[in-house]
Amino acid sequence: MEKEIALHGPAWLRQGQEPHAFALAFINTYDPLRAATDLLADPEYCRVFLSEWCEMDWDLDWGRIARRLQLFRDDLRQTLIRFIKGDLSLPDFSLYLDHKLEHWPWVAQAVADSKSFRVIFVPSPQLKPVQHVEAVVTRAFADLVAELGPERLHQCQSHPCEEIFADRSKSGRQRFCGKRCATRFNVAMFRKRKTV
């Protein structure tokens, strides 16, 4: 029922877009295997990426937006990688997210349907588009860790891929971000065994 909430702020996720999926796509805008390695390094790529996920005013200074989002992404990405590798404890990661989230006001909204009632939190309408994206991504990662647990966030093990993904498999032992990397890794291992 969250999809029926009135639009809030100068930027918002498009109808049907999940915050968790957006957060993972945002954190993986740097991909050494893609033709355009960093989608936030170029203002046009940044605009196209955000237009796929968000509704916002498009008459903006995309150079400044791309640079600010790139800095935010790099900081969050480094922290997530440290957390995934075990170099950052869960309480320290929680403090990091709390520190980020306290910069943005959240508005509580009641959502009711015929069977249930719940309260959700959405970013304040007064946030600027960049702040809104930062708030949604930070909150989505906090929710993702709370929902799946800290051991379900992984970094792809197929070098040179560096994607971060949420492991939703039953066993919790997913090693690769997708079939592309699993196939590339298995082919490399097969060739390595064949030459030895």
Domain of 46 in residue numbering reads as 2-195
Q: Which residue has the tokens 């046009």?
A: 44
- Reported as a single tens digit per residue, the pLDDT across 48-90 is 999 888 887 777 788 898 999 999 999 999 999 999 999 999 9
To 10 degrees, the CA torsion angle through 57, 58, 62, 68?
30
- CATH assignment at residue 145: 1.10.3300.10
The per-residue pLDDT string of the chain (196 residues; one tens digit each, 9 = 90 and over) reads: 344 433 334 567 777 788 889 999 999 998 887 788 899 999 999 989 998 888 877 777 888 989 999 999 999 999 999 999 999 999 999 999 988 888 777 777 777 777 777 777 777 777 778 888 888 899 889 888 888 888 889 888 888 888 889 888 888 888 888 888 888 888 888 988 888 7
DSSP secondary-structure letter at 7?
P
Q: What is the DSSP string of 42-84?
A: SHHHHHHHHHHHEEE-S-S-HHHHHHHHHHHHHHHHHHHHHHH
- Position 5 scores a pLDDT of 35
- Position 11 scores a pLDDT of 61
Strand pairing partners for 118? 111
Query: How many structural domains compose the chain?
Result: 1
120 sits in which H/E element: strand 117-123
Neighbours of 115 (CB within 10 A): 6
- Reported as a single tens digit per residue, the pLDDT across 110-121 is 777 777 777 777
Spatial distance between the Cα atoms of 57 and 130, rounded to a whole number of angstroms: 11
Spatial distance between the Cα atoms of 69 and 22, rounded to a whole number of angstroms: 14
Spatial distance between the Cα atoms of 76 and 100, rounded to a whole number of angstroms: 10
- Position 10 scores a pLDDT of 53
Neighbours of 154 (CB within 10 A): 18
Rounded to whole angstroms, the maximal C-alpha distance in the chain is 64
